[in-house]
Amino acid sequence: MSRIGNLPIEVPGGVSVDVANDNVITVKGPKGELKQKVDPDITVKIEGGVLTVSRPTEQKRHKAMHGLYRSLLNNMIIGVSEGYTIKQELVGVGYKAEAKGQILELSLGFSHDIFFKLPKEVVVETKTERRSNPVITLTSADKQLIGQVAAKIRSLRPPEPYKGKGIKFVGEQLRKKAGKSASV
């Protein structure tokens, strides 16, 4: 019995869900429009503002897809109604971030600045205040895309374990290592 797959999804007001004949689900809302192709074995029904996902058999493959597609559809509905936001912090002396449209300019201690082009679905904002680390804020309706972009930005300078310098998520706790101790 799938615990995630059997949960119904409440469709909020202002969000429309359309199920096409070729199993392509389209979700439209105030934050945008998302599409997801669903496996032909999985059935998606909309009844009275509630979306339900069901599977034909108890095979392991069907059970796995049941929970997967329910989670994907739920993320799409939350994305077009509320949106997703990820904040990243640049920890390090001289580290800077500046947004110029869809291009993020990062100064991360390398010999040259890094120019990172963002997809058009992701909106970026940067904030730099005195005596605090620069913060990059990513906003999008697509949870998968925003997570992938955030991971790519973090991979440019991941936090190192001794001083904690690098790009980290806001609120992330890093495990620091002890440095070499001086011998007496």
Task: Map out the domains of the chain as residue ranges.
Answer: 9-81, 84-169
Inter-residue contact 42 to 69 (CB < 8 Å): yes
Looking at residue 22, its pLDDT comes to 86
Looking at residue 21, its pLDDT comes to 84
Looking at residue 3, its pLDDT comes to 83
Looking at residue 24, its pLDDT comes to 93
The yes or no reply on domain 84-169 and CATH 1.10.630.10 is no
Please state the rounded mean pLDDT for residues 84-111.
Answer: 95
DSSP classification of residue 179: -
Please state the rounded mean pLDDT for residues 159-170.
Answer: 93
Global pTM? 0.89
Residues with Cβ within 8 Å of residue 95, at least 6 apart in sequence: 106, 107, 108, 109, 133, 134, 157, 165
| Sheet architecture: strand order including 96-100 | 96-100, 103-107, 114-117
The string of pLDDT tens digits covering residues 36-82 is 999 999 999 999 889 999 999 999 999 999 999 999 999 999 999 99
Measure the CA dihedral 97/140/156/129, to 10°: 20
More confident residue, 164 or 136: 136
Question: Could you tell me the fold of the domain covering 9-81?
Answer: Outer Surface Protein A; domain 3 (3.90.930)
The string of pLDDT tens digits covering residues 99-145 is 999 999 999 999 999 999 999 999 999 999 898 999 999 999 999 99
In DSSP terms, 51 is beta-bridged to: 9, 46
Please state the rounded mean pLDDT for residues 74-99.
Answer: 95
Inter-residue contact 128 to 96 (CB < 8 Å): yes
d(C-alpha 162, C-alpha 175), whole Å: 9
Domains 9-81 and 84-169 share a fold: yes
**Dihedral sign from CA coordinates of 148, 152, 155, 161:** negative
182 band by pLDDT with thresholds 50, 70 and 90: low
- Residue 165 clears pLDDT 60, i.e. is over it: yes
Inter-residue contact 89 to 96 (CB < 8 Å): no
| CA distance to 7, 76, 113, 167, per residue, from 16 (Å) | 19, 11, 43, 37
- Residue 170 clears pLDDT 70, i.e. is over it: yes
More confident residue, 99 or 20: 99
d(C-alpha 113, C-alpha 97), whole Å: 10
Please state the rounded mean pLDDT for residues 77-90.
Answer: 96
